[in-house]
Amino acid sequence: MTAEKRSAKPLAHVAANLLGALSQFPEVFFAKLVQRTGGWAVPAIIPPTDVDGQPWASDEARAKVRGYRNNGSGGLESAGEYVSRMTGMMRVYFEILKVPVRQPLDRMFQMPRYWMWFARMTSQRKSLETAVAAQLIYGSSPSSKRVYVC
């Protein structure tokens, strides 16, 4: 689902059509989006401990939960690759929110969700200190104008 700028809109239109036509697709799509983006779709910082209060089994396990992929040679993708992939996935999500549809999509795919995402992102200092957040805010504008945060 990662997309370049020029392919994000067509992918968003296809996804919006599927979201409106298939009954369980919105829940599954959003769950996979959150899983693949490591919480950036919500946005949420992955804590140093698992839900049971125990530290993650390994650095690799925590990295996987944060959305990192293996690079194929036993390590993790670079920070640049990670930022690029997160930006691409979220670009499609933000474009889905802007697609004009005949009937409202599930609430996770309506424009108020963008404003909730933006408010949550800008209220978390730890999120804002990352390179991913800067790229997501830059590319997330709900209109053709860019959003600037001071």
Give pTM, 2 decimals.
0.86
Identify which of 47, 23, 141 has the alpha carbon closest to the alpha carbon of residue 87.
141
Q: What is the mean pLDDT of residues 21-46?
A: 93
Whether 137 contacts 149, CB under 8 Å: yes
pLDDT above 70 covers what percent of the chain?
A: 91
Q: In angstroms, what CA-CA distances link 68 with 22, 38, 50, 80, 85?
A: 29, 8, 17, 11, 9
Which residues are CB-contacts of 120 (< 8 A; sequence separation ≥ 6)?
42, 43
Q: Is pLDDT above 70 for 6? A: yes
Q: Map residue 134 onto helix, strand or coil.
A: helix
Identify which of 43, 23, 47, 24 has the alpha carbon closest to the alpha carbon of residue 33.
43
pLDDT in tens, 43-91: 988 888 888 999 988 888 888 888 999 887 878 899 999 999 999 999 9
Q: How confident is the model at residue 146 (pLDDT cuts 50, 70, 90)?
A: very low
Q: What is the pLDDT of residue 123?
A: 93
Both structure tokens of 84? 């690029």
Q: What is the pLDDT of residue 144?
A: 43
User: What are the phi and psi torsion angles at 70 (to 5°)?
Assistant: -70, 145
Q: What is the pLDDT of residue 148?
A: 38
- Please state which CATH class domain 5-139 belongs to: mainly alpha
